[in-house]
Each structure stands twice: as C-alpha cells, then as structure tokens.
Amino acid sequence: MFLISIKEMQFIMENNKSLTSLLKYDNYESKYDLIFSFNHSVLSQSICLLGTNPTSNTCVFCLRNEPEITLDCRSHAIPTFLGNKYLYNRLECKECNNNFGRNIETQLDIFTKPYRLFNGIKIRKKGNYTFLKYQSSSQKFLVHNLMIGNIVALGVSGKNISEFILKENDSNMVLNFEEKCRPSDVYKCFMKIIYGLLPEKHHSSFTLLREWIMDEDPENLILNNLTIYQTITPNPIKDNLSIYISKRKYIYGKDQKSQEYYEFTAHINFGNVFFDIPLLSDSTLNYLKNRSENIILKFDLFTSLLPIERATRVVHNFADARKIKDINSFYFSNNN
C-alpha cells in the first residue's frame, strides 16, 4: 500500500492582520455587496432556507406549485459530497432534487472526487458519513482515505497501483483518475447550487440561467465561454466548506465602467480548493451576446483577498458537452 500523508491547516481570514490583506478586503468591499455567505464550520445543526415567504408553495427551479410537487425541506442546498451536512432548501422541490441528483450532480461528484480524496472529506452513505473510496474501472487498484493515529492519509492498494501512480522523478508523481465527466454539466451544477442560494429578490436577474439549469439537453450551452477560476493550495484546510455570492455596487448598464465587469460573482471553497465564478445574469448574457461572446469582462477574484501562498491557479472553460477524462492533471510532490 502506498500512503500520502494529508496535513491539516487551519485558516481564518479574520485572524490575518496583515495590512496588505486588510487593504485588499477594503478595496473589494467598496466595490461589492455580499448578498449571501455560508460557512459550514460554524454549524452544528440543520438549517433550512425558507425564502422570504415561509409559506410559499412554489419551487424556485421548476416554478411548479404544490400539490403537483413536494416541498419538504429535505433537499440539500449544497450536495452532501462537498461536505454539507446541515444546509437544506425548502424551496427546492423533491422532484427537482431527485432529477439533479441523477444527472448534473453526478458530474460534479466525478470532477471534485480527487480533491475530496486529498482533503479527506467524508460522504454520506446509508445515513452515515464515511471516507470516500475510488475504485478503478479495471478493478486493479483502489484509492481511499484512512486514519493512521490522528492523521488522515490517502491509501492506494491493489494488483497494479502503477496504473494510478505514475512517477515522473524521485520527488514528483502524477495521479491518474480514470472517470470521465461532462464539463458543461459540472458548470451547470455549480450554477444550480448558486442559484438555489441566491436571495429570492435576485432570481429575476437570472431567468435565462434558471431556464438553462432546467434544460436537460447537455448539447444546449448557454454560452460558448463558461469560465471558472480554480485555485489550489499545497495543504488541505479542515472542514471549511464556504460559499460567498457578491453583487457589484455600480449600476450595471448605466455606468460605463460597470459594463466592463461581471454583475454578480460567487466563491466556493472546500478543503484546499477555491473556485471563483463569474455569474451569467440576464444583463451580463445580453451584454455579451449583443457584442461578441469572445469579449472578456473584468473579474475581481475573491481568492486574491485570502492570505494564500504557493498556490496554483487554473482557468477552466467548461463549455464542452462531451464526457472527457481528467480535466485536471493531479500532481503530488514529496518536497516540503
């Protein structure tokens, strides 16, 4: 068995007092309003998002009403495989939740599985939370988390682990994951999560995005450039699933400079992985389509506010409806 030790690193932005970080945050705060924030580490019991009208009987995704649908506050607002144990959304109906779970959530599950393995994030299985396992299609190796004392490690076992661990030199290795996923559905699942967390008053700004989320044809892309910025730090951060959604303060479409920026942005973080996501509001989509989809709008990275060192940043374009293997290459270094 080959073991990769996973180090733990606690990191809270409020405790970072460097002048540079504070100035960066003040600058960001002057340009954006934070319209939603969630930090899983502060929760210890279930919370249900009820919306502005707790008695509403309309699903925010399919827009159908009870009794045609069931709203029972048993739909996780964020998939459990990302580490969400407590946050539910009463305004996501049981029928939509089941449909998302069978389709787009399976693609996000595949895409994030390597990162969750590296971070020791547990999954829910038959009501219990257990470490994740990755079985190769050839059945020749198994990748799994395990405890060695109080350390979470990554174990690789099987008949031929060389199919998974490809050594480049004495200190670096490439890890080979076989599963394929559809990038456009990965992106759509990110959008589903974010749309479900948006305060209801902002839903009217995302009518086109909601319609696309409900479109089950993966060949229909909402745009030819579905960009997400991913930042990966060297060490995992324990139990830190967090999501922030921001809205630019300038009046979009009336201020010339504001048109150069995305109107809404989101930030999702779990373990040592950070995603900065420019959001496609109706205004942004119309602005891009009326000019050229290749136009590049400006985007302030929320991750740039955080005191992260030695990080790797990747820019993804998820506008691909094919199922492909290894959107990322996964490297592990023995160097400190």
296 vs 208, more confident: 208
300 vs 308, more confident: 300
pLDDT-derived band at 191, boundaries 50, 70, 90 = very high
The CA distance from 187 to 212, in Å, is: 11
Instruction: Check residue 298 and give its pLDDT.
Output: 83
Instruction: Check residue 7 and give its pLDDT.
Output: 32
Share of the chain above pLDDT 70, in %: 70
Crossing angle (nearest 10°) for helices 94-102 and 104-119: 70
Instruction: Check residue 138 and give its pLDDT.
Output: 62
> Does the pLDDT value for residue 99 go beyond 90?
yes
> Does the pLDDT value for residue 318 go beyond 60?
yes
331 vs 144, more confident: 144
Q: Encoding tokens for residue 100? A: 């998302």
The SS3 assignment for 291 reads helix
> Does the pLDDT value for residue 193 go beyond 60?
yes
273 vs 156, more confident: 273
The CA distance from 144 to 307, in Å, is: 30
| Strand-by-strand arrangement of the 172-175 sheet | 165-167, 172-175, 330-333
pLDDT, tens digit (0-9, with 9 covering 90-100), for 224-266: 999 999 998 876 665 589 999 999 986 544 555 666 789 999 9
* N-terminal to C-terminal alpha carbon distance within the chain: 22
The CA distance from 22 to 57, in Å, is: 43
Low-confidence winner among 8-12, 41-45, 289-293 (lowest mean pLDDT): 8-12
Q: Encoding tokens for residue 324? A: 């492909």
pLDDT-derived band at 186, boundaries 50, 70, 90 = very high
CA quadruple 127, 128, 132, 138: dihedral sign: negative
pLDDT, tens digit (0-9, with 9 covering 90-100), for 44-84: 888 998 877 777 899 999 999 999 999 988 999 999 999 89
Count of alpha carbons within 13 angstroms of residue 18, beta-carbon side: 10
The CA distance from 6 to 132, in Å, is: 14
Low-confidence winner among 33-37, 204-208, 287-291 (lowest mean pLDDT): 287-291
> Does the pLDDT value for residue 38 go beyond 70?
yes
Instruction: Check residue 265 and give its pLDDT.
Output: 95
Instruction: Check residue 13 and give its pLDDT.
Output: 36
Task: Tell me the mean pLDDT in the region 11-28.
Answer: 52
Neighbours of 237 (CB within 10 A): 21
304 vs 135, more confident: 304
Instruction: Check residue 255 and give its pLDDT.
Output: 53
Mean pLDDT of the chain: 80
> Does the pLDDT value for residue 198 go beyond 90?
yes
The CA distance from 197 to 87, in Å, is: 10
